[in-house]
């Protein structure tokens, strides 16, 4: 049977990229990565419309995250090895997930570990990004106005209420922005996630993604392939932690220190250029 030329023109590049997923320069592979993010976000829009109709709205983010992980494995040969899955909540138990934030490419790895029942916290400006912003609106992303402290606190309190009402967890990057340093270090943590946890009285689950500068390094214009370690740390109980500033400051510092030690541990094969 003769294959129509138009269909061949669509299928051929897909097959080519799947076969030669370990090839290509920095700009080409970065372009492919953003195309894959766009595909996942577009599917997220579809999931955001259809899954609520069948009572599965809580699976929107998880579905898109797993799709992103599959696409990156198939077309960029980027995978992840996850340790500590036994530390994830069972059933519909809610939690606050805090993860280190290295580059815009973090989305390539978080799909391997993203929980089934969780919303994402993002900065308000992402709402207006085509496809990605539309998907995030449909998936009930919590948009924080980080430029307005009073609004951010109010939104965090509302999120704490929703955690119990909807039995949903929250995924947040406590550094607030991408570090982009390529070093085994963390930026200072913002306290929103930790106030949210103490208000909702749910555990905090730290998740650490290995320093992956050997795979992606924008400064050196390098975009390779490989496997990245991700470690899920034991949950931190917040039931008896007061909501006052002193207690939240200590909680924030303790978890940051734990995550920093883990980052250095699982990235031990990386040479930190600052040393």
* Digitized pLDDT (tens) for each residue of the chain, 275 residues in all: 554 656 566 677 778 788 888 888 999 999 999 999 888 888 888 888 898 889 888 888 888 899 999 999 999 999 999 999 999 988 778 899 999 999 888 888 888 999 888 888 766 666 666 666 666 666 667 766 655 566 666 666 777 676 767 777 888 889 877 777 778 889 999 888 898 888 888 999 999 999 999 999 998 999 999 999 999 999 999 998 888 888 999 999 999 999 999 999 999 665 444 34
In 96-252, beta strands by DSSP E = 96-99, 118-123, 142-144, 169-172, 204-209, 216-217, 222-223, 226-232
Is residue 96 domain-resident? yes
State the DSSP code for 190: P
Q: What is the CATH number of the domain that holds 121?
A: 3.40.1130
Q: Is residue 230 part of a domain?
A: yes
Write out the residue range of the structural domain in which residue 187 sits.
5-269
Q: How many CA atoms lie within 13 A of 267 on its CB side?
A: 25
Rounded to the nearest angstrom, the gap between the alpha carbon of residue 91 and the centroid of all alpha carbons in its chain is 21
The answer to whether 118 and 142 are in contact (CB under 8 A) is: no
CA–CA distance, 162 with 159 (Å, rounded to integer)? 5
Q: Count the Cβ atoms, other than its own, within 10 Å of residue 90.
A: 6
Count the Cβ atoms, other than its own, within 10 Å of residue 55.
Answer: 8
- The whole-angstrom distance between residue 14's C-alpha and the CA centroid of its chain comes to 26
Residue 274 lies in a domain: no
Domain membership flag for residue 260 = yes
Q: Judge contact between 229 and 109, C-beta under 8 A.
A: no
Q: What pTM was estimated for this model as a whole?
A: 0.84
Assess contact for 79 and 43: CB atoms under 8 A.
Answer: no
Is residue 275 in a domain?
no
Q: Which two tokens stand for residue 164?
A: 């119990």
Number of structural domains (the chain) is 1
């Amino acid at each position: 049977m003769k294959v129509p030329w138009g269909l061949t023109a669509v299928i051929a590049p897909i097959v080519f990229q799947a076969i030669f997923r370990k090839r290509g320069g920095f700009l080409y592979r970065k372009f492919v990565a953003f195309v894959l993010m766009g595909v996942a976000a577009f599917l997220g829009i579809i999931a955001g419309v259809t899954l609520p109709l069948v009572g599965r709205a809580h699976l929107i983010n998880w579905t898109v995250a797993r799709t992103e992980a599959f696409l990156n494995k198939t077309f960029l040969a980027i995978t992840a090895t996850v340790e500590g899955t036994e530390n994830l909540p069972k059933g519909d138990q809610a939690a606050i997930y805090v993860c280190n934030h290295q580059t815009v490419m973090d989305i390539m790895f978080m799909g391997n570990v993203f929980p089934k029942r969780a919303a994402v916290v993002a900065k308000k400006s992402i709402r207006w990004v085509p496809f990605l912003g539309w998907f995030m609106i449909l998936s009930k992303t919590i948009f924080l106005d980080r430029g307005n402290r009073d609004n951010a606190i109010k939104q965090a309190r509302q999120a704490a209420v929703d955690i119990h009402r909807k039995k949903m967890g929250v995924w947040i990057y406590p550094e607030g922005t991408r570090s982009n340093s390529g070093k085994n270090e963390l930026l200072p943590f913002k306290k929103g996630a930790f106030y949210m946890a103490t208000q909702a009285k749910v555990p905090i689950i730290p998740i650490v993604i290995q320093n992956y500068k050997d795979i992606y390094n924008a400064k050196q214009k390098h975009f390779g392939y490989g496997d990245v370690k991700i470690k899920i740390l034991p949950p931190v109980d917040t039931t008896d932690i007061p909501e006052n500033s002193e207690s939240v400051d200590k909680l924030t510092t303790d978890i940051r220190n734990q995550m920093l030690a883990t980052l250095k541990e699982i990235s031990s094969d990386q040479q930190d250029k600052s040393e």
